[in-house]
């Protein structure tokens, strides 16, 4: 079959479908560096790789499958008055609809973020579905467990050590799709990072430089480790994030916020509508953590504060002298700890670590959380290796072969990996839909570079 690859990025759709014997006849990618990378990875289609799809859609040839990991944009409200198509106008999904209207490929395969089903209270998915159905497609999307479905699809369901739940949509013009055309996988499957971690002697000098932790990051991990090591085995670690700023904190939070107290402390007769008034209030709150300066606290925040204060009171005698003072020297995000290893040994260097705005997150050494496209500060840390993951490890986590070309800088490389679709997940969906629903004999996936890299992962076998 002939397929097109829109918003192509690193070419995850291309790797998956080409590995099943299908042919790419057009690709579109807005980012110039990623277009160059795409051409280098797929030289056979280099002459058919274009930029902005809004300018290039006239070059789209006839095809059988449209693939796209399209951006999730809010849709216009005007469609309720002027027809469904107007709802998508001005968005990139509108460009997909325009191409489908002209070419009517038999299959549509789309991917988006995990919360797509609930975006804009479900309105976005409803509009996408109706627009596709209006063009004659039978449409199915993954359904959240909470919505009564089998849930989103993640690489770890198929043996890859990567938690990355994504929403997929398939459309077919050849008849009615089954209620659930997606591969099921095993949500309880145990994975391990040892399968993809590079041995020390395989790291290049560039790898060693790029993956090195800063001294401040090491000090932060060691500082939290110091607290964990002095706790008695009988002392439980909170299930909510540990907020270090709550140690010895006394500001009100149950019935009144510090903001409200500061407001009441203003001199009588002060004009509260004047900007200087609110500047005065904020100045009175500067010694508090930023999360405690809001006008009101939601229920969840009150619960976090309550549990933190109770826990710090419980462990107060075990906290080393001066520990709290040293903690205050770290940035706010490093003064928080998210422990997700209940019942495990209390040594942070044994786990996967991640510096997040919500704190230092700690997870078992079985898989990494989803790679984040918008920042490199959240690249996973391999605790036993005491370093960040390498570019090659990032490629394997997303199902790409080791020789797949990435953008030049580490920042651009991990941004692209964070935006990519997982190759093996797409391959499995395509096998279910393209080969079986089209009435074709299942096309064996050749033992190519992609599968060679995937074959050693638990449960992933070359077709």
Output DSSP code: residue 321: T
H/E segment holding residue 95:
helix 92-103
Query: Does residue 67 have an active-site annotation?
Result: no
Output DSSP code: residue 156: G
The SS3 of residue 159 is coil
Q: How far is 52 from 32, CA to CA, in rounded Å?
A: 10
The SS3 of residue 259 is helix
Q: How far is 17 from 105, CA to CA, in rounded Å?
A: 15
Q: How far is 308 from 337, CA to CA, in rounded Å?
A: 11
Q: How far is 391 from 226, CA to CA, in rounded Å?
A: 31
354: nearest Cα among 168, 213, 205, 202: 213
Catalytic residue (choose from 72, 220, 277, 341): 72
Q: How far is 354 from 241, CA to CA, in rounded Å?
A: 13
Please name every residue paired with 167 in a beta bridge, in sequence order, or none if there are none: 112
What are the DSSP calls for 419-460, one per residue?
Answer: HSPPHHHHHHHHIIIIIIITTPPPPPPP--HHHHHHTTSTT-
Q: How far is 65 from 16, CA to CA, in rounded Å?
A: 13
Q: Give the catalytic positions in this structure.
A: 72
């Amino acid at each position: 079959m002939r397929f097109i690859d829109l918003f192509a990025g690193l070419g995850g759709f291309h790797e998956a479908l080409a590995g099943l014997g299908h042919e790419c006849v057009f690709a579109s990618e807005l980012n110039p560096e990623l277009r160059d990378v795409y051409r280098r990875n797929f030289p056979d289609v280099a002459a058919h790789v274009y930029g902005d799809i809004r300018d290039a859609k006239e070059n789209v040839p006839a095809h059988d499958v449209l693939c796209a990991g399209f951006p999730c944009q809010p849709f216009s409200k005007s469609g309720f008055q002027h027809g469904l198509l107007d709802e998508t106008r001005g968005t990139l999904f509108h460009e997909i609809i325009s191409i489908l209207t002209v070419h009517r490929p038999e299959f549509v395969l789309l991917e988006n973020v995990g919360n797509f089903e609930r975006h804009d209270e479900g309105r976005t998915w409803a509009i996408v579905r109706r627009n596709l159905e209006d063009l004659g497609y039978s449409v199915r999307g993954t359904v959240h467990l909470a919505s009564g479905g089998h849930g989103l699809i993640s690489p770890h369901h198929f043996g890859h050590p990567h938690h990355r739940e994504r929403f997929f949509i398939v459309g077919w013009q050849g008849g009615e799709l089954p209620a659930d055309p997606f591969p099921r996988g095993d949500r309880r499957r145990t994975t391990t990072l040892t399968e993809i971690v590079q041995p020390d002697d395989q790291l290049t000098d560039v790898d060693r430089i790029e993956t090195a932790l800063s001294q401040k990051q090491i000090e932060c991990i060691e500082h939290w480790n110091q607290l964990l090591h002095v706790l008695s085995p009988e002392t439980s670690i909170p299930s909510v994030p540990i907020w270090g700023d709550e140690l010895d904190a006394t500001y009100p939070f149950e019935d009144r916020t510090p903001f409200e107290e500061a407001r009441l402390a203003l001199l009588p007769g002060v004009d509260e509508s004047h900007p200087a008034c609110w500047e005065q209030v904020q100045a009175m709150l500067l010694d508090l953590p930023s999360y405690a300066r809001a006008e009101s606290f939601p229920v969840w925040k009150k619960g976090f504060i309550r549990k933190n204060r109770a826990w710090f009171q419980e462990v107060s005698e075990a906290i080393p002298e001066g520990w709290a003072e040293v903690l205050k020297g770290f940035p706010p995000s490093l003064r928080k700890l998210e422990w997700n290893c209940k019942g495990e040994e209390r040594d942070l260097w044994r786990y996967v670590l991640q510096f997040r705005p919500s704190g230092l997150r700690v997870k078992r050494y079985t898989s990494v959380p989803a790679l984040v496209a918008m920042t490199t500060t959240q690249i996973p840390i391999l605790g036993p290796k005491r370093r960040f993951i390498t570019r090659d490890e990032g490629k394997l986590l997303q199902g790409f072969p080791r020789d797949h070309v990435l953008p030049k800088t580490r920042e651009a490389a991990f941004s692209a990996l964070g935006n990519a679709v997982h190759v093996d997940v797409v391959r499995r969906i395509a096998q279910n839909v393209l080969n079986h629903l089209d009435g074709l004999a299942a096309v064996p996936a050749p033992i190519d570079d992609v599968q060679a890299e995937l074959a050693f992962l638990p449960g992933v076998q070359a077709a």
